[in-house]
Amino acid sequence: MTEEELYTLLDEHDIPYEVAHHRAVLTVAEAAEVVPDHGVATKNLFLRDDKKRQFFLVCALVETQVDLRHLHERLGSRRLSFASAELLRARLGLEPGSVTPFGVLNDESCEVTLVFDEGLRHARFDAHPLVNTATLFVEMDDVLPLLEVHGTRVVFCDLT
């Protein structure tokens, strides 16, 4: 899916959103310099278990320090670590620096579990639209039905 195809999909599902285009950003710190404050700022981590059988896309509040040593216990998985850029491309069709919850829409087999920080429940949040040269602002309550229709497993979790 491309950035434009994502906008079309959001329009087809009557999901309101705002878009801010900006220079490419690779880190949360860079994004803070160029992204307007129109929603809860997030960071995204693509994780895999130690056997590379389970994959998780974690969307956390920017200020949250995600404890990877214990997160696997909350998610009922084996120990977790960061997935490689190759796995990111293969599973979600994304490049490093462009990780976004919308990447699960590229996961046709719905094998990646999307984990949202509990603090994002019912929030307006920011996310890349599959590229790191723009930021979308959407309401969680509007996005969840789209993810459900897609077949993505979505979990809300206290990530600290």
Torsion over CA: 16, 21, 26, 32 (sign)? negative
Which tens digit of pLDDT belongs to each residue from 11-69? Answer: 999 999 999 999 998 888 888 888 777 778 899 999 999 988 999 999 999 999 998 88
Looking only at the bridges linking them, the beta strands covering 42-49 and 55-61 are antiparallel
pTM: 0.93
Place of tokens 């920011």: 126
- Quick check: 151 and 19 in contact, CB under 8 A? no
Place of tokens 């069709």: 93
Domains of the chain: 3-157 (3.90.960.10)
Q: Is 148 helix (H, G, I), strand (E, B) or coil?
A: helix
For residue 101, the 8-state DSSP code is G
The per-residue DSSP string of 40-79 comes to B-EEEEEEEETTS--EEEEEEETT----HHHHHHHHT-S-
Which tens digit of pLDDT belongs to each residue from 68-83? Answer: 889 999 999 999 999 9
